[in-house]
Amino acid sequence: MTDTLDETKTLADGPEDAPAYPIGRTCPYQMPPGYEQLREKGPISRVTLWNGRIAWLITGNELGRRLFPDGRLSSDVLDPNFPLLAPRIEAQRQQAAAPPLVGVDDPVHARQRRTVLPSFGVRQVNALRPAIQKYADELLDKMLAKGPGVTVDLLSEYALPMPSAVICMLLGVPYEDHHYFDERSRHVLSSSGQEQAAQAQTAFTEILAYLDDLISRKQAEPGDTLLDELIARQLDEGKVDRQELAMIATVLLVSGHETTSNMIALSTMALLAHPEQLEALRSDESLMPQAVDELMRFTSIGDMLMRVAKEDIEIEGHLIKAGDGVILSTMLMNRDPGSFEGADDLDIFRPSGRHVAFGYGIHQCIGQNLARAEMEIALATLFRRVPTLELAVPADEVPVNAPYVLQGVSELPVTW
């Protein structure tokens, strides 16, 4: 490294200028208080984590796009320097193996990703659309039979069971078992705080045990789902071991629940708060794909993506040292005024692309085609079939999740 004339800033320079992080949202789809100031300080600043540790926060869109693909930043959650946002993740780290796909680097990551990739392609997902539509209609039939005039929780009646049924179908988990995963997946990804760390751990272990058992049942009686295919092509040929396969299936199952359900809930809230755009969308459903893309940008539910530097990185007058924690805020990157005009406004007519709500770099969401299809179908069907849908409580009384992993609400009371 060459010495530069200007002082290069490190984490040790100015820890007093590192606000506590993460910050809870008050509105589930808007920037939390304090983000405005972080955005002004951007594109790179410092924050203080729950355990007192200082970490880098990346807030600029362009800078983030340079850093996300940088091989010197690692996703290895077993690295003792990996930054943790909440104690519950600390508990999960006690496991012997890192979570496949999300918690490992290449080449392990690339091998695991390519194992399951063929099932998540555009063509494969499009073939699932009729089945997704069927689940959406069945759930709405049940919900609508309760009303009108009653209050129901849209999250547990619709937004959560729909993606749950879809990922269970894709993996080959019997439909009657999908309720088993609704709650448990929530615990793994969205619970927070010290006392819930154990709950997250138990839920993960239970899901893992269920899937391990399912693999045995499928070995005895093969079917034609993703899990069957993985058993036939990967496990039986020795390309993946049994523990790894059960872990991969667990990660897919859990990720397939929480992410999409939070997106459906927050998108519903955001659209209800923008009635003209909702009306435009209702009268022209072909706007749905770009509206979903914009809702992804606007709500940025997977806001904080963590990395640890494996080597020194000099960037924008800052020195990220090996061992430093780096947090990439997708919400701040997605609301960077340098990249988006009217960055804080929802605008379903905005051209698609350029946001990083699915992440960026090698870990970009593997299920994004599936997620888009589910969101498009879920929202179009909901607003078509329930034209008088409204919140049953004032928007600011909807309970918001703690800020640790996925942003969302713990229930969404609606009526029609």
Interface with another protein by CB under 8 A: which residues? 68-69, 110, 113-114, 117-123, 353-354, 358-362, 364-366, 368-369
Tell me the closest approach of the beta carbon of residue 339 to another protein, in angstroms. 11
Tell me the closest approach of the beta carbon of residue 340 to another protein, in angstroms. 14
Tell me the closest approach of the beta carbon of residue 334 to another protein, in angstroms. 14
Distance CA 254, CA 249 (A): 9
Distance CA 246, CA 365 (A): 19
Angle at 139 between CA 135 and CA 140, to 5 degrees: 115
DSSP 202-249: HHHHHHHHHHHHHHHHHHHS--SSHHHHHIIIIITTTSS-HHHHHHHH
Tell me the closest approach of the beta carbon of residue 16 to another protein, in angstroms. 35
Q: Which residues contact 299 (CB under 8 A, 6 or more apart)?
A: 28, 29, 263, 266, 267, 270, 357, 407
Looking at beta carbons only, is 113 or 178 nearer to another protein? 113
Looking at beta carbons only, is 191 or 339 nearer to another protein? 339
Tell me the closest approach of the beta carbon of residue 364 to another protein, in angstroms. 4
Tell me the closest approach of the beta carbon of residue 227 to another protein, in angstroms. 17
Looking at beta carbons only, is 238 or 351 nearer to another protein? 351
Looking at beta carbons only, is 73 or 203 nearer to another protein? 73
Q: Which two tokens stand for residue 383?
A: 């607003």
Tell me the closest approach of the beta carbon of residue 233 to another protein, in angstroms. 11
Yes or no: say if 399 and 410 are a contact pair by the CB < 8 Å rule. Answer: yes
Looking at beta carbons only, is 118 or 337 nearer to another protein? 118
What is the dihedral angle through the alpha carbons of 104, 107, 111, 113, rounded to the nearest 10 degrees? 50
Q: Helical H runs in 108-177? A: 108-116, 122-144, 154, 161-171
Residue 190: phi, psi to the nearest 5? -115, -5
Looking at beta carbons only, is 302 or 361 nearer to another protein? 361
Please choose, from the candidates 304, 7, 371, the residue with its C-alpha nearest in 3D space to the C-alpha of residue 162.
Answer: 371
Cα of 360 vs its chain's centroid, Å: 13
Tell me the closest approach of the beta carbon of residue 182 to another protein, in angstroms. 28
Which of helix, strand or coil describes residue 269?
helix
Looking at beta carbons only, is 238 or 353 nearer to another protein? 353
Looking at beta carbons only, is 95 or 369 nearer to another protein? 369
Looking at beta carbons only, is 282 or 354 nearer to another protein? 354
Yes or no: say if 252 and 166 are a contact pair by the CB < 8 Å rule. Answer: no
**The residue count for the chain:** 416
Q: How many helices (H) and strands (E) does the chain have?
A: 15, 10
Q: Which residues contact 127 (CB under 8 A, 6 or more apart)?
A: none
Tell me the closest approach of the beta carbon of residue 363 to another protein, in angstroms. 8
